[in-house]
């Protein structure tokens, strides 16, 4: 029987702190995350470091639903975490996000 | 700029990726380290990073159009001296302009649309005698560990410089021989030990498949030539990489040759050179090489603007290729005698290079 893992909701930033089609870094409990705002004003969260060489994705470029790593131009779909081809081969972990009272909350395990 | 003489305590370096220098680079914190980046605001950088298909569609149309026109002239005048200038132009467009095209499309920054980058990347790789997947990973490592001995597979001029090899590469002879050896290995589903250090397992079937396709094309062209008793087909496919490759080394040497090794600051191991518009078209603005290495997600057409934004934090650019080569040629000749010697780029007085030990510590954290 699978064990249910409680989600802990953590306030990451104010919703308007992120420009449309952009990303910011959020550090919590020794971990680093990337929080995205898509062109259609939806919010997403992934692990903050590229799975290729651990570079901060928050320094990268958001294009539609893609985040491009600033070091080697590796691309992920930040809505699903899917790696989109070399040099990134391992998917990004994603986290649930909700917006409440103008704050972006991410759900951590 | 000034020079330092380290020849007194110089020890012969091992540039392979499987030698003692590889472990040494890791232990010194030089592998996958944190590099210096000139300060630039996020908004400005985002604007510079913005992708567009327009400039690359225009430049690719001009490139293919010029290839078609010069190729037609070469074919039309084939058998007379009048074909020579046409093949000269065709060769440079094929064997030299392809260098910057594979490079930019390999970064997937030339076009906004991914498949356009990938199609031009494959074509340009073939023209420049580079296997696409091998070079995608090789270049990834070059950007991680730029001119770090034991880590970077793309150090064009290891010390002491191989002057004969450089001369042979004016006509891509050394690189063509290297490709032939690698292809022979890859078509048998094998990698050499150095390639195995930077090409992940899951990408290797692609390497072997591409090698077979490349080899089949070269064999097909050779058979065609024999069948019709003329080298004309090879003048269009294959040989232009040789007879038109001289601008590749002319541009390529300016990037890092003669400069420092094992520094975590692209301002010290790369050159930015002002070039004329024709060269910049052929080379797709890679003359802004410090800028490209520091911010590889900025597309080639935005590099001049990036240069303006960070130039006060960088060494004075070279005024032209002449000025660069007045430094490079004597430097390489001197490094033949004194391999520890290098050209030290002068940073603006208000900035200091990133401290290697601090960066290594940061990378290790």
Report the distance separating Cα B130 and Cα B211, nearest Å.
10
Cβ atoms of residues A44 and A97 within 8 Å: yes
Q: What's phi and psi for B16, nearest 5 deg?
A: -70, 165
Scanning the structure block, which residue is given the tokens 């058979």? Answer: B223
Per-residue pLDDT of chain B (365 residues; tens, 9 = 90+): 444 555 555 678 999 999 999 999 999 999 999 999 999 999 999 999 999 999 999 999 999 999 999 999 999 999 999 999 999 999 999 999 999 999 999 999 999 999 999 999 999 999 999 999 999 999 999 999 999 999 999 999 999 999 999 999 999 998 899 889 999 999 999 999 999 999 999 999 999 999 999 999 999 999 999 999 999 999 999 999 999 999 999 999 999 999 999 999 999 999 999 999 999 999 999 999 999 999 999 999 999 999 999 999 999 999 999 999 999 999 999 999 999 999 999 998 766 555 554 444 333 33
**What sign has the CA pseudo-torsion B52, B53, B54, B57?**
positive
Whole-prediction pTM value? 0.89
**Which residues in chain A touch residue B50, judged by CB atoms under 8 angstroms apart?**
61
Q: What is the mean pLDDT, run by run of 10 residues, along chain A of 109 residues?
A: 70 94 94 96 96 92 94 94 91 95 93
ipTM of the complex: 0.83
A104 found inside a domain: no
The interface residues of chain B toward chain A in range 311-350, judged by CB-CB distance below 8 A, are none
Nearest-Cα distance to chain B for A3, in Å, is 33
Structural domain harbouring A73 = 17-95
Helix, strand, coil % (nearest 5) of chain A? 5, 50, 45
Mutation site for A-interface testing, chosen from B37, B43, B104, B108 by largest number of A Cβ within 10 Å = B108
Q: Which residues pair with A68 in a beta bridge?
A: A61, A75
Residue A22 lies in a domain: yes
Classify residue A8: in a domain, yes or no. no
CA distance B344 to B326: 15
CATH number, domain of A37, equals 2.102.10.10
The owner of tokens 């210096």 is: B36
Residue B250 and residue B267 in contact, taking contact as beta carbons nearer than 8 Å: no
Token pair of B303, please? 């590099």
Q: Do B32 and A53 touch (CB under 8 A)?
A: yes
Residue A88 lies in a domain: yes
Structure tokens at B302: 């935005």
Q: Which of B64, B126, B118, B122 is nearest to B93 (CA)?
A: B64
Burial group, residue B39, by CB count within 10 angstroms (0-12, 13-18, 19+): exposed
Q: Is residue A41 part of a domain?
A: yes
- Give the number of other CB atoms < 10 A from CB of residue B183: 18
- The domain tally of chain A equals 1
């Amino acid at each position: 029987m699978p064990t249910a893992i409680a989600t802990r909701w953590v306030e990451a930033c104010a919703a308007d702190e992120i420009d449309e089609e952009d990303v910011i870094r959020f550090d919590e409990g020794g971990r680093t995350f990337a929080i995205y705002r898509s062109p259609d004003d939806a919010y997403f969260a992934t692990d903050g470091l590229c799975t290729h060489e651990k570079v901060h994705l928050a320094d990268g470029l958001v294009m539609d639903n893609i985040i491009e790593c600033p070091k080697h131009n590796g691309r992920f779909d930040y809505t699903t975490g899917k790696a989109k081809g070399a040099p990134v081969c391992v998917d990004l972990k994603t986290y649930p996000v909700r917006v409440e009272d103008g704050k972006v909350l991410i759900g951590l395990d | 700029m000034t020079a330092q003489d380290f020849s007194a305590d110089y020890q012969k370096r091992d540039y392979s990726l499987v030698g003692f220098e590889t472990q040494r680079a890791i232990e010194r914190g030089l592998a996958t380290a944190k590099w210096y980046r000139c300060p630039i605001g996020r908004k400005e950088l985002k604007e510079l990073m913005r992708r567009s298909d327009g400039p690359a569609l225009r430049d690719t149309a001009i490139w293919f159009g010029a290839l078609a026109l010069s190729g037609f002239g070469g074919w039309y005048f084939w058998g007379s001296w009048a074909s020579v200038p046409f093949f000269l132009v065709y060769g440079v467009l094929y064997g030299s302009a392809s260098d910057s095209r594979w490079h930019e499309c390999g970064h997937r920054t030339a076009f906004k649309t991914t498949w356009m980058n990938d199609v031009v990347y494959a074509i340009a790789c073939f023209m420049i005698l580079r296997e696409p997947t091998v070079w995608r990973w090789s270049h990834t490592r070059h950007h991680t560990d730029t001119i770090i001995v034991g880590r970077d597979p793309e150090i064009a001029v290891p010390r002491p410089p191989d002057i004969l090899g450089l001369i042979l590469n004016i006509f891509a002879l050394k690189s063509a021989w290297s490709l032939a050896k690698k292809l022979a290995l890859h078509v048998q589903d094998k990698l050499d030990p150095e390639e195995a250090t930077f090409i992940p397992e899951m990408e290797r079937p692609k390497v072997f498949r591409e090698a077979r396709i490349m080899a089949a094309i070269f064999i097909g062209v050779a058979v065609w030539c024999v069948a019709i008793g003329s080298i004309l087909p090879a003048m269009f496919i294959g040989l232009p990489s040789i007879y038109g490759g001289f601008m590749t080394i002319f541009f390529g040497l300016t990037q890092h040759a003669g400069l420092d090794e094992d520094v975590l600051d692209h301002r010290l191991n790369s050159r930015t050179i002002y070039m004329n518009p024709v060269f910049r078209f052929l080379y797709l603005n890679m003359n802004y090489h410090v800028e490209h290495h520091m911010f590889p997600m900025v597309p080639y057409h935005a590099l001049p603007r990036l240069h303006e934004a960070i130039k006060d934090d960088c060494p004075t650019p070279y005024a032209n290729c002449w000025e660069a080569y007045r430094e490079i040629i004597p430097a390489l000749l001197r490094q033949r005698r004194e391999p520890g010697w290098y050209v030290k780029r002068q940073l603006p007085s208000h900035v200091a290079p990133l401290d290697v030990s601090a960066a290594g510590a940061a990378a290790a954290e």
